[in-house]
Amino acid sequence: VLIYLLLAGTAAQTVRATLLAFFALSYGVTVASHAATIGIPGPTWMAAGILAPFALLGGFTGRPIGDRLGSDGFAILAIALLAGAGLYTVAAAGVGLVNRQP
Amino acid sequence: MTLFGWAGLAGTTFAAALLQAVSGFGFAVLAVPLYLLLVDPAQAVQLAIILSTALSFAVVSGLRRTVAPALLLRISAGSLAGLPIGLFSFRYADRLLVRLGAGATILAFAVMMAGFRFRGGRPWAPFARTQTGDLAAGAVAGVATALVGMAGRRC
């Protein structure tokens, strides 16, 4: 979705807000499906509860920074994150393939 | 868990949340690999999705005016449509090869976009958004979610 929106020249603030809303919906469904199928253990909920204030603090600290980020800054950050994510995914898959039993 | 471990989880969570609030995505990209150093894989993934959900709801509430509702609706609908295709493919596809292909595709697009930006001095925007394109991007995200576990950045 991010690559599509960047290639279509969508405004940075629209991409950011719409992606956040998309994640809220899609991860919300994922949490519900985990809870309903494989289950989420009590200690995981407890750890999430302990860590939630740090997530909210990071979120509320980052929001005004994102508001001030221009379209160039947003695009550079997005491209850097995509490159990092792509490299990590390739490396993790490569290690998995090398270590795979025949 | 030791105090050091909790400090690591808290610091990772803060940094990943900051990144996601600034850019709109990236919590799982940063958090999951670092969580994996401190907790088992199942807990790392579940922590990331619970915290990312809470964070996204909290941050997006202040950005409601800039959300594009029609775009959100179409990528969500496309994603829902793509999910069963991904789940079906999940049974037959080689997950490591799929991850390798997905990672290489993301990396290739990142390199191309960076190349155009730094050589041409302007963003590479070869097409305009369309309703069909929105739905298709959502569908690819849905397939990727089921196949390799993450939605937003895959397509």
Report d(CA B142, CA B155) in Å as an integer: 10
Check if the interface score ipTM surpasses 0.90: no
Is A60 close to B58, i.e. CB distance below 8 A? yes
In this complex, is the C-beta atom of A95 within 8 Å of any C-beta atom belonging to chain B? Answer: no
What is the reported pLDDT for B121? Answer: 61
Which chain B residues contact residue A43 at CB under 8 A?
43
**Alpha-carbon separation of residue A73 from A12, A44, B17, B63, B123 (angstroms):** 9, 35, 18, 18, 12
pTM, two decimals, is 0.81
What is the reported pLDDT for A43? Answer: 93
Torsional class of A44: left (φ above 0), alpha (ψ -120 to 50), beta (otherwise): alpha
DSSP for residue B61:
G
Is B52 close to A23, i.e. CB distance below 8 A? yes
pLDDT of A18-37, one tens digit each? Answer: 989 998 988 888 888 888 88
Decide: B55 and A57 in contact? Cβ < 8 Å.
Answer: no
Q: Phi and psi at residue A44, in whole multiples of 5°?
A: -70, -40
Distance of alpha carbon A10 from its chain centroid, rounded? 19
What is the reported pLDDT for B68? Answer: 92
How high is the mean pLDDT of chain A?
88
What is the reported pLDDT for B145? Answer: 75
CB pairs under 8 A between A and B: 287
First to last CA, chain B: 37
Strands (DSSP E) found in B3-155: none
What is the reported pLDDT for B154? Answer: 43
Is B66 close to A17, i.e. CB distance below 8 A? yes
- Nearest alpha-carbon partner for A63 in B61, B51, B67, B69: B61
In this complex, is the C-beta atom of A40 within 8 Å of any C-beta atom belonging to chain B? Answer: yes
Report d(CA A40, CA A34) in Å as an integer: 7
**Which residue stretches of chain B have pLDDT < 70?**
120-124, 148-155
Question: Which sign, positive or negative, has the C-alpha torsion A16, A18, A22, A28?
Answer: positive
Decide: A40 and A27 in contact? Cβ < 8 Å.
Answer: no
Best of A13, A15, A19, A50 to mutate (most B CBs within 10 Å, chain B): A19
Contacts of B106 (CB under 8 A, 6+ apart): A3, A82, A85, A86, A89, B153, B154
pLDDT of A52-80, one tens digit each? Answer: 999 999 999 998 888 888 778 888 888 88
Which chain A residues contact residue B61 at CB under 8 A?
none
Mean pLDDT value across residues A89-95: 88
